[in-house]
Amino acid sequence: MSFDNFLTAEQQQWRDTCHRVMDKEITREYIRECDMNRQYYYEGFEKLHELGMVTMLIPEELGGMGADTMAYTLFCEAAGKYSMDFGGAIGVSQFTAQNLIHYGTPEQQEQFLQPFIEGNNRFAISISEPHSGSDAAAANTRAVKSGDHYVLNGLKQWCSGSSATNAVICMLVRTDPDAPKRQGLSVLLIPNDTPGMELRKLKTLARRGTGTNQIFLDRAKVPVENRLGEEGQGWEIITNHLQLERVSIAASYVGCAQQAVDDALAYAHQREAFGQPIFKFQTLRHMLADMQTEVDAARLLTYRSAGMMDAGQDALREVSMAKLFASETLQKVTRQGIQIMGGHGMLPEADMERYFREGMQATVGGGTSQIQRTIIAQTMQY
C-alpha cells in the first residue's frame, strides 16, 4: 500500500491486523444485517472488546492497551470500512472513558470505568437538543439540585447508542440558568434505565445500527455523585476530547470511502456493457481515478492530524480540515459509486447505498461542514 512510507513497521502490522479482524471476524454481511434490521452491534462490540480494541486508548495500568492516537486512527479507519456507523458505535465510548480518567473520582471510575474496561457497559454522549445542535452550549435541559440528587426536566435529541443494553449516558445539562451560556453547564453520568427518562428511537437515514434517540426527561433523579467534575465545568469536559473525536471519525470516513472506491472498482471490472467491462470506458476510469485521489488526500490529512496530536501539538485546524474533507469525500465518492454501479448500487446487498446514506450524515454529525470551515477560517492569520 502506498501509505507504508508514512507508517512504521509496527503501525503497518497493526493496520493489517485491524483490517483482518474486520474482514474475518466482523464481516460486511454482519454489518449489513445490523443496518437493515436497525439492530445494535452487540456481537461486534463483544468481539472487539475480547481483542482489546474497544479499550485500546485506556492506559495499560488500568487494563487497556495504552495506544497512541495514530494506532487508534488506524483502528478507526478499519472499523469504519463497511460502515462508519460501526466505527462510531465502538468509538463513542472512548471519549467518556477519557473523561472519566481525567475528571472522574475514584468512586466514579469504579462504578462506570471499570465495567467498561471489563466489557460490561458502554457510553453514549448527549449534547444536542431539538433547538441546539451546532450551537451546543445553548442546551437548556435543566438539572436542579435537591438534596443529594439533581432533578432533570427537558428533551435531549440525537443521542446515538443510548438505548443499547447497559449504556451510560454522558449528558450535558444546565445547572445554572443565570450564568453565561458556557458556564452554567454540567455533565452527569446517567444509566439509561433511570426512572423518569424515556428513550425513543428515531427512524434516521443513517446510524441505523447504533440507533439514535430522543431522551425525554420528566423529573428524572440523578445522584449528585454522578456529576463529572465541578458544577459549571460541563462545557470544558464535553469539549475536552473534540480533537480526538474528530480525528477518529475522519478516519472512519476514510475507511468507508476507500471501501466504496474498492467496491466500485471491482464492480467496474465485473460488469459488462456493449461487450466489454465498463472499466474500459474512459469516463468511468477517470471518475475512479478522481475518487481514489480524493480518498488518499483525506487519508493524508487524517494521518497528519493524528501525528500532530501524538507529538503533543494543538491540531485544531488540521483535525477540522481532516473531518471536513473526509466527510465530504465520503459523500462524493459514494454518490459516484452508485453512479458506477447503476441500479445495482441501490440495493442493500451492494452496500454502496449504506455508505451513501452514512456519507449524508457525515457532514452533519460531529460538527457540520459549515462549522468546520468556520473553525479553519478562524485559525487563518493575515
Ligand X SMILES: Cc1cc2nc3c(=O)[nH]c(=O)nc-3n(C[C@H](O)[C@H](O)[C@H](O)COP(=O)(O)OP(=O)(O)OC[C@H]3O[C@@H](n4cnc5c(N)ncnc54)[C@H](O)[C@@H]3O)c2cc1C
Q: Please report, for residues 76, 209, 328, 360, the alpha-carbon distance to residue 246 in angstroms, rounded to integers and kept in the order given.
A: 11, 20, 14, 16
Q: Does 159 bind ligand X (CB under 6 A)?
A: yes
Residue among 126, 217, 140 at smallest CA distance from 178: 140
**Binding piece for ligand X, criterion CB under 6 A, among 68-76, 125-133, 222-230, 338-346:** 125-133
Among 133, 211, 337, 359, binds ligand X (CB under 6 A): 133
DSSP letter, residue 113: I
Among 370, 377, 378, 379, binds ligand X (CB under 6 A): 370
Q: Does 376 bind ligand X (CB under 6 A)?
A: no
Task: Give the three-class secondary structure for 215.
Answer: strand
Among 51, 242, 316, 364, binds ligand X (CB under 6 A): 364
Among 206, 250, 295, 326, binds ligand X (CB under 6 A): 206
Calpha distance 22→287 (Å, rounded):
27
Position closest to ligand X via CB:
133
Give least dist CB 163 to ligand X, A: 11
Beta carbons of 215 and 190 less than 8 angstroms apart: no
Q: Which is nearer to ligand X, 173 or 268 (CB)?
A: 173
Q: Does 134 bind ligand X (CB under 6 A)?
A: yes
Residue among 159, 155, 160, 192 at smallest CA distance from 173: 155
Q: Does 154 bind ligand X (CB under 6 A)?
A: no
**Burial (CB count <10 Å: 0-12, 13-18, 19+), residue 161:** buried
Give least dist CB 206 to ligand X, A: 5
Among 128, 240, 243, 329, binds ligand X (CB under 6 A): 128
Strands 212-223 and 167-174: what pairing?
Answer: unpaired
**Binding piece for ligand X, criterion CB under 6 A, among 263-271, 275-283, 303-311, 369-377:** 369-377
Calpha distance 102→124 (Å, rounded):
17
Q: Does 199 bind ligand X (CB under 6 A)?
A: no
**Binding piece for ligand X, criterion CB under 6 A, among 72-80, 315-323, 332-340, 357-365:** 357-365
Q: Does 126 bind ligand X (CB under 6 A)?
A: yes
Q: At how many degrees (to 10) do helices 9-20 and 69-79 cross? A: 30
Residue among 218, 171, 216 at smallest CA distance from 191: 171
Q: What is the contact surface with ligand X in residues (CB under 6 A)?
A: 125-128, 133-134, 158-160, 204, 206-207, 212, 361, 364-365, 368, 370-371, 374
